[in-house]
């Protein structure tokens, strides 16, 4: 733990009820949204959907191609809205589908604007077989001063009711 942490931050760290939590997510198919809502039901806090100004195609193959072009170009898509006073949150639980083995570029845009100093980031992703891929490492690169918790990977088709698994994960990382 950082020696510069204030008494208030130490109390927040040891008492989950004093932490300000943001559950932020990006969802194309709706699976990640389902998981984000279930997490929000358990931990409370605020819920925020990351939405890019340019909508992704509803056709799967077209969406995959657009996501690949954005990743190859390291683009930072503009977002429809931002979180007011993101610095006031102690914990950001961030959800996303695994696209091309990492976070979708709108999530990279969101995280790049997040003051991650001494902030805990807890990532979860939905996937079709690649689990977390390199997404946790990529979050570390974007938010080098954050404390990034163990990530959770959920197969997209299992997104319907994961409250038990989510509660176990949240307990393991000190948020449940």
> How would residue 13 be classed by pLDDT, with cut points 50, 70 and 90?
very low
Q: What are the residue ranges spanned by the domains of the chain?
A: 20-172
CATH topology of domain 20-172: Rossmann fold (3.40.50)
Instruction: Determine the average pLDDT of the residues in 104-124.
Output: 91
34-51, pLDDT tens digit by residue? 999 999 999 999 999 999
Task: Confirm if 140 and 148 have CB atoms less than 8 A apart.
Answer: yes
In the chain, which ranges are E strands? 21-25, 46-49, 91-97, 120-127, 147-148, 152-155
pTM score over 0.85: yes
Instruction: Determine the average pLDDT of the residues in 110-139.
Output: 91
């Amino acid at each position: 733990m950082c020696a510069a942490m204030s008494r208030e931050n130490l109390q927040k760290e040891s008492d989950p009820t004093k932490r300000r939590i943001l559950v932020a997510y990006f969802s194309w198919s709706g699976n990640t949204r389902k998981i984000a809502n279930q997490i929000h039901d358990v931990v409370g806090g605020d819920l925020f959907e990351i939405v890019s100004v340019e909508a992704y195609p509803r056709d799967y193959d077209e969406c995959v191609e657009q996501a690949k072009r954005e990743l190859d170009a390291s683009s930072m898509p503009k977002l429809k809205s931002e979180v007011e006073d993101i610095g006031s949150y102690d914990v950001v639980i961030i959800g996303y589908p695994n696209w091309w083995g990492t976070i979708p570029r709108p999530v990279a845009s969101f995280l790049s604007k997040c003051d991650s100093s001494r902030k805990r980031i807890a990532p979860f992703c939905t996937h079709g077989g690649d689990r977390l891929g390199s997404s946790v490492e990529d979050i570390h690169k974007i938010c080098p001063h954050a404390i990034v918790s163990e990530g959770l990977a959920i197969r997209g088709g299992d997104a319907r009711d994961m409250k038990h698994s989510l509660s176990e994960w949240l307990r393991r990382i000190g948020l449940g």
